[in-house]
Structure formats: structure tokens, C-alpha cells
Amino acid sequence: MDTPNYRMPFVPSTLMSEGGSIDTCDVGESIAHNIMLLITTKKGENRYDENYGNDVWSLEFDNGVTPAVWENTFIKSLRKQILECETRIVNPQISAYIEIVEHNYDTKEHTEIKKKVRIAINAKMESTGERFGFSTELFLSPMSID
């Protein structure tokens, strides 16, 4: 019997209602949820597994880190985490690219400059051999210029 894949975020109050149940999702969505957690969790932040998470967040406020160093650290750490914590996929090919994004607001008198990282993962699902694809974008740091 297959283990169900639960949708995140988990809402405990749904269990307490009459006839309550937990929302489920397919295996691809479940893998994507776990990868997103691996990406956004700082190593040591998970109290049940101090090795869960990405090493790159220890560089978060280090202004001396170049985008290439950040990208390489991120990819290396995420690959290691996927191999250890997300065994439902195999042979992950990971890319991460940092870009600078400027945004002007009509309600503000300044321009915000932010770093954004584009992340993509291609792999195969271990159980079926089907292709698995994942992509996301994260803003890394806000900065304002008057």
C-alpha cells in the first residue's frame, strides 16, 4: 500500500472538524514541497534534524561572497540534501542563477534593488523513471537607493 502524500501547509484544525481529513497530493507535488523546504531551511534550523537544510544561508549577510560562490555553495548543498533527504528522485541536475532586479514603486520615492535567484531542478522519479521538474525564484536581499 502506498503511503499518502500530504499537502502543505498542514492545517490541524481540518482534522478536528466533523468528518475532518487531511488534504493529500500526488508524489510530484510532495517532492516539490520537500525540495522547497530544503531550499529555504537554514542548516541547523530543523530541531529534529540539524543536518536538514541548505548551507548557503550561513552566507546570507556576507557581502564579500560573489554570486558565483553563492550559486556553487547553494547547488552543492542542495544536491547533497536531495541525495540524503529526498530519495524519491535520482540524478538531480540543479541550476541556480542570481540576477539583480530593480523595482520602482509609484508610492515610493526610491528604487528597490534586490537579488533574485532562479532555481531549476531536473531529475527522475525513482519509483517510475518519470521525469521530474521543479523551478522557483526567491528574492535574497532587499536594498533601497534614493
Determine the Cα–Cα distance for residues 123 and 60; give it in Å rounded to an integer.
27
Per residue in 35-52, pLDDT tens? 999 999 988 888 898 888
Burial (Cβ within 10 Å: 0-12, 13-18, ≥19) of residue 110: exposed
Cα dist from 81 to 21, 121, 143, whole Å? 31, 13, 30
Copy the grid coordinates of residue 83: 541525495
SS3 101: strand
pTM of the model: 0.77
Give all strands of the β-sheet with 89-104 in edge-to-edge order.
89-104, 111-125, 131-145
Query: Is the CA virtual torsion 8, 11, 16, 19 positive or negative?
Result: negative
Per residue in 70-107, pLDDT tens? 899 999 999 999 999 999 999 999 999 999 888 777 77
Determine the Cα–Cα distance for residues 139 and 35; give it in Å rounded to an integer.
17
CA 79 to chain centre: 12
Identify the CATH number of the domain defined by range 5-145. Answer: 3.10.450.40
